Amino acid sequence: MPKQRNTKLEALLVEFGYTHQQLADEVNQTAQDVFGKPTQCTDRHVRRWIAGNVQWPWSRYLLPLQQIFGRSPEAMGFIPRNSSRVPAPPRRSAPVKEERPVRRREFIAAGLAAALGLDAIPSAGRLGTADVERIRAIVPALYNHDHALGGGALHTVAEQALRFVHYALNHCTYGSRVERALYAATGDLAASAGWFAYDAGLQEDATSLYSEALQAGMLAGDGMLQARVWSNLAMQARLLDRDQEALRIGRAAVETRQAKADPWLMSLLHCRQAVGHARVGERARAERSLARAESAYDRTNGEPAAWLSFLTPAELTGLAGATHQALGRYGQAQELTASALDMLEPRFERNRVYYTVQSAQALLDGGEVEQAVAEAGRATAIGERVQSERVQGKLDGLRQQMRRHAHVPAAADFLEQTRRTGA
């Protein structure tokens, strides 16, 4: 069979922001976790995979690649032979201390800063549509890592990118048509940087970036961008325990023409409104919002915008669980959250931590202390792999509530263990 270029793997490198050497380094680091020792992957291996010279890599490379991209070998463009199979990772005789998450965050953040191609954004001269597209491509590249790493690893990279774009806006020339597109792309980047700052616990930075995004959205005449920012501002208000303000902002977003025209956005907005209504005890309105969210999601088709790529059936189910949790229906909340975790794709690592904590919380509130402790233990273990102050705060709150059950041996053991490890 003649060799065929692996365009799927090539696209994944672009999507995740890897150079050939960076992916080889990441394969070696991931292999340390999978096999207990690194492989000897080089950029030459990566080039051969992409060129189609190697259609099915050795398992010592294939398993790390699955971990990195969260996809099956076939989805990465590899072609199995009749005897090809992916073996299970080898079992280890003793647990290995987890030091890799911080290294991985630093590695990817540093790699992204280089791979985003910020130096290619002109600092003088005239900007055209190709420059706008280059700026637009920054946001999807960042969001691919946000789902796994959390905003704590990305907000500085996003703000660095925004500085490059600001410089171009203020030192280059461009026509009116390009100007509108530039403001839309800049607002998209500012809104994304605001989300990463929000997730990292930097609420003042998030507010400032959201304000910039709103202004850019108005200058660009981009109603969708403005509706997106209103949605994020509602989430931030809820995080700060300003529930009525969050509901008012969310209601304004739902009423926008852009939200009514985009079922992806409308579904998300109604889900978040459902949680908000539940938090203030409005049961009927919460249930009505959940029904509207499902109805809107049924009308979706194609692919959503990059920032909405997390909106899957698992996310809708998890938010329904959060709604029932806020209404005090702990059994139903736990069932829905468990279902969401079952459906959640591997690439959504931060959301896995978030919903594992939610599951533990529902079990604890429902009086199932020992089961809650088991879920909390799982959340703590996988929580080390993401950098999200928002998720960490949720886990800290669960641990504080666990103190009320310190008379239960399992809870006492969990509290002591997390105290010793600083988790």
Q: How confident is the model at residue 102 (pLDDT cuts 50, 70, 90)?
A: very low
Whether 72 and 66 have beta carbons less than 8 Å apart is answered as yes
> Which of the two residues, 422 and 415, has the higher pLDDT score?
415
Q: Average model confidence (pLDDT) for the chain? A: 85
How high is the pLDDT of residue 89?
Answer: 47
Q: Which two tokens stand for residue 324?
A: 């029932």
* Fold match flag (7-74 vs 312-423): no
Q: Which two tokens stand for residue 32?
A: 């340390």
Q: How confident is the model at residue 178 (pLDDT cuts 50, 70, 90)?
A: very high
Residue among 340, 421, 333 at smallest CA distance from 383 = 421
> Which of the two residues, 207 and 418, has the higher pLDDT score?
207
Domain 7-74 has CATH 1.10.3470: no
pLDDT digits (tens, 9 = 90+) for 313-336: 999 999 999 999 999 999 999 999
CA atoms within 13 A on the CB side of 368: 14
pLDDT digits (tens, 9 = 90+) for 9-67: 988 887 677 788 888 888 888 887 767 777 888 888 999 999 888 888 888 888 888 88
> Which of the two residues, 398 and 83, has the higher pLDDT score?
398
> Which of the two residues, 275 and 10, has the higher pLDDT score?
275
How high is the pLDDT of residue 98?
Answer: 40
Answer whether residue 153 shows pLDDT above 90. Answer: no
Pairwise CA distance, residues 269 & 254, whole Å: 6
Instruction: Specify the range with the lowest mean pLDDT, choosing from 25-29, 44-48, 68-72, 217-221.
Output: 68-72
How high is the pLDDT of residue 420?
Answer: 62
Answer whether residue 220 shows pLDDT above 50. Answer: yes
Residue among 293, 283, 295, 300 at smallest CA distance from 315 = 293
How high is the pLDDT of residue 262?
Answer: 92
How high is the pLDDT of residue 91?
Answer: 43
In degrees and rounded to multiples of 5, residue 136 shows phi and psi of -60, -30
Q: Which two tokens stand for residue 39?
A: 């492989």
How high is the pLDDT of residue 354?
Answer: 93
Region 366-378 average pLDDT = 92
Answer whether residue 268 shows pLDDT above 90. Answer: yes
**Tokens 């139903």 correspond to what residue?**
332
Q: How confident is the model at residue 111 (pLDDT cuts 50, 70, 90)?
A: low
How high is the pLDDT of residue 140?
Answer: 87
Pairwise CA distance, residues 285 & 268, whole Å: 16
b vs e for 364-392, b when ≥16 Cβ sit within 10 Å of the residue's Cβ? bbbebbebbbbbbbbbbebbebbbbbbbb
How high is the pLDDT of residue 97?
Answer: 37
How high is the pLDDT of residue 85?
Answer: 53
Pairwise CA distance, residues 214 & 201, whole Å: 21
pLDDT digits (tens, 9 = 90+) for 118-146: 777 888 889 999 889 989 888 888 887 77
List the chain domain ranges: 7-74, 312-423
Instruction: Specify the range with the lowest mean pLDDT, choosing from 89-93, 262-266, 296-300, 337-341.
Output: 89-93
> Which of the two residues, 33 and 299, has the higher pLDDT score?
299
> Which of the two residues, 341 and 60, has the higher pLDDT score?
341
Instruction: Tell me which DSSP letter residue 235 carries.
Output: H
AA letter at 392: Q
Pairwise CA distance, residues 198 & 347, whole Å: 20
In degrees and rounded to multiples of 5, residue 173 shows phi and psi of -110, 155
Whether 6 and 52 have beta carbons less than 8 Å apart is answered as yes
Q: How confident is the model at residue 365 (pLDDT cuts 50, 70, 90)?
A: very high
CATH of 312-423, one of 1.10.260.30, 1.25.40.10, 3.40.50.2000, 1.10.10.2840: 1.25.40.10
> Which of the two residues, 423 and 8, has the higher pLDDT score?
8
What Cα–Cα distance (Å) separates residue 298 from each residue in 294, 340, 346?
6, 17, 23
Answer whether residue 413 shows pLDDT above 60. Answer: yes
Q: What is the pTM of this model?
A: 0.70
Region 349-368 average pLDDT = 93
CB atoms within 10 A of CB 209: 27
Long-range contacts of 416-420 (CB under 8 A, 24+ apart): 418/380
- One-character DSSP codes across 329-372: -HHHHHHHHHHHHHH--TT-HHHHHHHHHHHHHHHHHTT-HHHH
